[in-house]
C-alpha cells in the first residue's frame, strides 16, 4: 500500500510539471505571436507612409525647388526661402536649447538628487516635455511677439529652444544616472574635482545617449508647425532677418497642403520629403561619427 502511494506522488508531480510546461509554452507562443503581429502592423503602416511620401514627393522634385522662392500658384515657385528659414530657426533653436538642457540635466543628476529644488525643476521639465507645442507657441507669443508688436524669426527660434530644453534635460539626466558610482569615485580618488569628473568621465560615458536625446529634439522641432504659426508666422518673400517674419518648411507645408492648387499641394509633399530625409541624414551622420570615435 505504501509503495503504491509513494509511486503515485511523484507521478502526479511529473504530470503537474508537464501541464505547467505546456501552459508556459502556449503562453509563450501566444505572446510571441502578438508581438510579431504588432511589429508587422507597425512596419506595414510605416512602410505605407514612407511609400506614399516617396511617390508623391519625388515626382515634384526639381531644380526650381531649391533655387526659387515660394510664388503664387502657377508660377513654378520653389521652397528656397522655406528651406533656409527652417535651417536657420532649427539650428539656432537647437543651439540655444541644447546647452541649457545639458546643464539642467547635469544639475539634476549630479547635484540635486533628492533635493526640493531638484524635484521642482524635474517636475517643471516633465510638464514642458508633455505640453502641447501650441501652448509653447502661445506662451512665446505673449512673451515676445505681442510686447514687441510683430512676428519674427527670433521668436520662432526661442519657441523651438523651449521645446528642445526638456527633451535634452530628460535624456541627459537619465544617461548620467546610469553611470556606475564606482567610476565617479575612482575619478575623485585620483584627485579630480567634481566638475572635471563630470566633463571628462561622465559626459564621455553618456555621450551616445546624450547625442541621441539631442537628435530626438532636433527631429521634433524640425517638423513643428504650431509654435511657428504664433511666432515666426511665415513669409512668402525672401528674408534672412530674425527681426521679421520668416518662412519655414512646416508652416509652408501646412499652408500648401490644404490649398486648392495642384502645384502648391505638390510642393507640400516635396517639403515633407525634404524634412524626412534631412532628419534621416542627420541621424545617420551622428551614428557614423559616434561609431568612428569609439
What letters, b where the CB count within 10 A reaches 16 and e where it falls short, cover 207-236?
eebbbbbbbbbbbebbbbbbbbbbbbbbbb
Identify which has the larger pLDDT, 291 or 44.
44
The average confidence (pLDDT) of the chain is 90
**Given a cut of 70, is residue 169 above it in pLDDT?**
yes
Q: How distant, in Å, are the alpha carbons of 119, 195, 200, 265 from that of 105?
A: 12, 14, 16, 42
Q: Mind listing the pLDDT tens digit for each residue in 203-241?
A: 999 998 899 889 889 988 998 999 999 999 999 899 999
**What is the rounded average pLDDT of the residues 8-32?**
81
* pLDDT the model gives residue 37: 96
For the domain spanning 63-292, the CATH number is 1.10.3720.10
**Given a cut of 60, is residue 107 above it in pLDDT?**
yes
27's grid cell? 503562453
- Rounded to the nearest 5 degrees, what angle is found at the Cα of 223, between the Cα atoms of 287 and 174? 50
| Res. 145 pLDDT band, cuts 50 70 90 | very high
**Given a cut of 70, is residue 294 above it in pLDDT?**
no
* pLDDT the model gives residue 3: 46
**Given a cut of 90, is residue 116 above it in pLDDT?**
yes
**Total-model pTM:** 0.86
**Given a cut of 80, is residue 108 above it in pLDDT?**
yes
- With a CB cutoff of 8 Å and minimum separation 6, the contacts of 246 are 85, 88, 89, 152, 153, 156, 232, 233, 234, 235, 239, 240
| Res. 282 pLDDT band, cuts 50 70 90 | confident
User: What is the percent of the chain where pLDDT is above 70?
Assistant: 95
**What is the rounded average pLDDT of the residues 115-127?**
93
Amino acid at each position: 500500500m505504501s509503495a503504491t502511494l509513494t509511486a503515485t506522488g511523484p507521478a502526479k508531480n511529473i504530470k503537474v510539471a508537464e501541464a505547467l510546461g505546456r501552459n508556459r509554452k502556449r503562453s509563450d507562443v501566444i505572446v510571441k505571436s502578438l508581438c510579431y503581429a504588432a511589429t508587422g502592423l507597425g512596419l506595414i503602416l510605416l512602410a505605407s507612409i514612407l511609400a506614399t511620401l516617396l511617390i508623391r514627393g519625388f515626382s515634384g522634385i526639381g531644380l526650381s525647388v531649391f533655387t526659387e522662392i515660394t510664388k503664387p500658384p502657377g508660377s513654378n515657385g520653389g521652397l528656397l526661402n522655406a528651406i533656409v528659414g527652417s535651417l536657420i530657426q532649427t539650428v539656432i533653436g537647437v543651439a540655444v536649447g541644447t546647452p541649457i538642457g545639458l546643464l539642467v540635466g547635469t544639475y539634476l543628476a549630479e547635484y540635486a538628487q533628492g533635493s526640493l529644488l531638484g524635484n521642482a525643476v524635474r517636475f517643471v521639465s516633465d510638464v514642458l516635455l508633455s505640453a502641447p507645442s501650441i501652448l509653447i507657441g502661445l506662451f512665446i507669443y505673449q512673451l515676445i511677439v505681442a510686447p514687441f508688436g510683430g512676428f519674427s524669426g527670433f521668436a520662432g527660434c526661442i519657441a523651438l529652444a523651449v521645446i528642445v530644453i526638456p527633451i535634452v534635460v530628460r535624456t541627459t539626466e537619465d544617461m548620467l544616472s546610469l553611470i556606475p558610482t564606482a567610476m565617479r569615485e575612482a575619478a575623485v580618488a585620483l584627485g579630480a574635482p567634481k566638475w572635471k569628473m563630470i566633463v571628462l568621465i561622465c559626459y564621455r560615458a553618456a555621450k551616445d545617449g546624450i547625442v541621441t536625446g539631442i537628435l530626438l529634439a532636433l527631429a521634433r522641432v524640425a517638423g513643428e508647425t504650431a509654435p511657428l504659426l504664433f511666432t515666426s508666422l511665415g513669409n512668402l518673400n525672401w528674408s534672412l532677418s530674425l527681426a521679421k517674419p520668416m518662412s519655414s518648411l512646416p508652416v509652408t507645408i501646412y499652408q500648401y497642403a490644404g490649398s486648392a492648387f495642384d502645384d502648391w499641394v505638390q510642393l507640400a509633399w516635396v517639403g515633407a520629403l525634404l524634412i524626412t530625409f534631412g532628419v534621416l541624414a542627420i541621424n545617420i551622420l551622428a551614428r557614423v561619427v559616434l561609431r568612428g570615435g569609439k
